[in-house]
Amino acid sequence: MCVPEERPSAMSFEQLAMPLFDRLYNFAHWLTQNRDEAEDLVQETYAKALKGFSSFEPGTNFKAWMFRILRNTFLNSRTGLKAATVPLDPAEDDPALPAETQTPETILIDRTSREILQAAIEELPVVYREVLLLCEVEEMSYQEIAAAVAIPIGTVMSRLSRARRLLRQTVERKLQLRSAS
């Protein structure tokens, strides 16, 4: 029987990368806010990752590696460059943030507020949106987020904390507007 010659690295890439496809696409769409741009971003990410797969160190976190490539590709795109120019809060890199305020009851009771929550996530500056999505949707550890976004863990914590606070404030504001109208 003729067995085709194996290419272990290429086969391994496909096996490792394709299960992440839906997740990478969801993340790409949240970053770009546009279906066509998200599709281009995902295609480019897979092309770059395949090309650079020989530099991937086995045993390290493949998922964080893929998300890092996608994010860097996004930041180099026109939309990404524009999004990255949004100024950060000056206290952004200070992990010693004051205690959180209490989570508003109204947000939790109102289960029809899914669309409001999505709109509020869209409004987050991209630096906060990305860490929030990697934590809450991808359930990455702070260490993995730090690897994917290439920032120190302390900055992951402060950005996450600020992302949550901004999100709560935006949702509260939107809920108030809705009840007033």
Partner 1 sequence: MTHELWTAKLDAYLDGELESGETAELDSHLRECPACAAEGLRRLQWKKNIQSAAQRYVPDPKLRQRVQKNISQPRPVRRWWPAYAATLAVLLLLVGIAILREGSRQERNSRIVSELADLHVSTLASSSPVDVVSSDRHTVKPWFAGKIPFTFDLPELQGSPFELVGGRVSYLEQSPGAHLIFRVRQHRISVFIFQERAVPEGFPSLGPTDARSFHLETWIHNHLRYFVIGDAAPEDIQALSKLLK
Residues found near partner 1 in the complex (CB under 8 A): 2, 4-5, 7, 10-11, 13-14, 17-19, 21-22, 25-26, 29-30, 35, 38-39, 42-43, 46-47, 50, 97-100, 102-103, 105, 107-108, 111, 114, 117-118, 121, 132-133, 135-137, 141-142, 157, 160-161, 164, 167-168
Question: CA quadruple 29, 135, 155, 55: dihedral positive or negative?
Answer: negative
Minimum Å gap between C-beta 60 and partner 1 is: 20
Minimum Å gap between C-beta 179 and partner 1 is: 18
Minimum Å gap between C-beta 123 and partner 1 is: 13
Q: Which is nearer to partner 1, 84 or 168 (CB)?
A: 168
